[in-house]
């Protein structure tokens, strides 16, 4: 909810091009490396390539929140991680279907994905507009306005998933709409008296509570990863795979960043930060368990994903540290 939708829209085209370039390059190069050099089965290589192809929103937002990078770069990195959630999940689900059936109707799958996204966007926006009215007129000073908002988001997720659309995207659009309702009202030139001092204060309180909830989720996530990770399961082959993958991911980001600079020179000062901001996390970890649910076993997948998450996060932290020494953060 704390994201400024106006700033995001200004960066959306660059972020989309950059994200797709990084994702496609990373997926293809990692898949080729695993299949031809490490001799993994083709579908296994493609699946690992897909789930390693994108960054994670939680870690990226944590690292850049108090970073001295420009708003353009911060929004680019946030949008990249947000789009990656869709590309990783969609790509993994489609590939699992191919692995299960051995064939796939491309046109049908494309239609299902587009229909799922458009339905989610519509539901999310309409629910957000409806909730703006409720918050402004009836829950401005109510002590449970945040809990009510969270409840509506959960109901929205369940409802959208129930009609076989993407619940995560619906909740994202809902959050952007509610968090930016003043901008939304101005954007669509809606004549209303909903934007008042009290409604803005209510939104500010909701955002403050959300920060605490977000901290809890982040802490629990990394605690859970620590519980399931075991160094005893590591071997030379897995280490070779992971370090090779991380090198490829860095190379893909470096190349994509150079292309980004051709589109806009404003990112030049923060090229190193963008290149090293490659942390994998929650999405990749969750998606890694999908093959088991489908009855497909990929040997060493859990260890590969968790070790990749650890190393990529360390590289991102080092990248931010070096960037901050060159360009210190100013309050």
CATH of the domain at 238: 1.20.1530.20
What pLDDT, on the 0 to 100 scale, is given for residue 313?
A: 92
Q: Is residue 237 part of a domain?
A: yes
Helical (H) or strand (E) element with 256: helix 236-263
Q: Is residue 295 part of a domain?
A: yes
Instruction: Measure the CA angle with vertex 214, ends 187 and 169; round to 5°.
Output: 45
Q: Is residue 331 part of a domain?
A: no
User: Which residues of the chain, if any, have pLDDT below 70?
Assistant: 1-11, 97, 100-113, 139-143, 168, 182, 184-212, 214, 218, 221-222, 225, 228-229, 329-331
Reported for 139-147, long-range contacts at CB under 8 A and 24+ positions apart, including other chains, are: 139/202, 140/198, 140/199, 140/201, 140/202, 141/198, 141/202, 145/202, 145/205, 145/206, 146/205, 146/206, 146/209, 146/210
Domain that holds residue 150: 5-326
Q: Distance between CA 244 and CA 34 in Å, rounded?
A: 9
What pLDDT, on the 0 to 100 scale, is given for residue 314?
A: 94
Q: For residue 242, what are the contacts with CB-CB under 8 A and spacing of at least 6? A: 304, 307, 308, 311
What pLDDT, on the 0 to 100 scale, is given for residue 210?
A: 67
Q: Is residue 175 part of a domain?
A: yes
What pLDDT, on the 0 to 100 scale, is given for residue 219?
A: 73
Q: Is residue 43 part of a domain?
A: yes
Helical (H) or strand (E) element with 196: none
Helical (H) or strand (E) element with 232: none
Residue that the structure tokens 């085209």 belong to: 13
Q: Is residue 210 part of a domain?
A: yes
Tens of pLDDT, residue by residue over 249-266, are 999 999 999 999 998 888
What pLDDT, on the 0 to 100 scale, is given for residue 5?
A: 53
Number of domains in the chain: 1
């Amino acid at each position: 909810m704390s994201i400024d939708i106006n700033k995001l829209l200004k960066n959306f085209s660059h972020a989309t091009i950059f994200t797709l370039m990084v994702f496609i390059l990373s997926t293809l190069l990692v898949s080729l490396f695993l299949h031809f050099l490490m001799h993994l089965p083709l579908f296994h290589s493609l699946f690992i390539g897909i789930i390693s192809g994108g960054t994670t929103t939680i870690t990226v937002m944590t690292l850049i929140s108090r970073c001295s990078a420009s708003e353009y770069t911060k929004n680019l990195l946030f949008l990249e991680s947000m789009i990656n959630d869709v590309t990783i999940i969609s790509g993994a689900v489609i590939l699992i279907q191919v692995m299960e059936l051995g064939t796939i109707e491309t046109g049908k799958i494309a239609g299902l994905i587009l229909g799922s996204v458009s339905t989610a966007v519509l539901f999310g926006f309409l629910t957000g507009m409806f909730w703006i009215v409720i918050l402004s007129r009836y829950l401005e000073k109510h002590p449970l306005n945040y809990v009510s908002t969270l409840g509506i988001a959960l109901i929205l997720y369940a409802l959208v998933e129930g009609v076989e659309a993407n619940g995560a995207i619906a909740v994202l659009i809902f959050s952007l709409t509610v968090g930016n309702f003043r901008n939304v009202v101005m954007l669509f030139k809606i004549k209303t008296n909903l934007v008042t001092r009290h409604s803005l204060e209510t939104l500010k309180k909701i955002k403050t509570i959300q920060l605490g909830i977000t901290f809890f989720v982040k802490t629990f996530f990394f605690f859970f990863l620590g519980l399931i990770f075991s160094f005893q399961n590591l071997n030379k082959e897995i280490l070779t795979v992971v370090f090779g993958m991380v090198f490829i991911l860095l190379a893909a980001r470096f190349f994509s960043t150079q292309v980004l600079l051709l589109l806009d020179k404003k990112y030049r000062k923060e090229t190193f930060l963008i290149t090293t901001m490659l942390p994998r996390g929650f999405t990749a970890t969750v998606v890694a368990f999908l093959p088991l649910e489908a009855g497909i076993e990929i040997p060493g997948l859990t260890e590969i994903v968790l070790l990749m998450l650890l190393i990529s996060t360390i590289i991102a932290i080092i990248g931010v540290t070096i960037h901050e020494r060159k360009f210190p953060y100013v309050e």
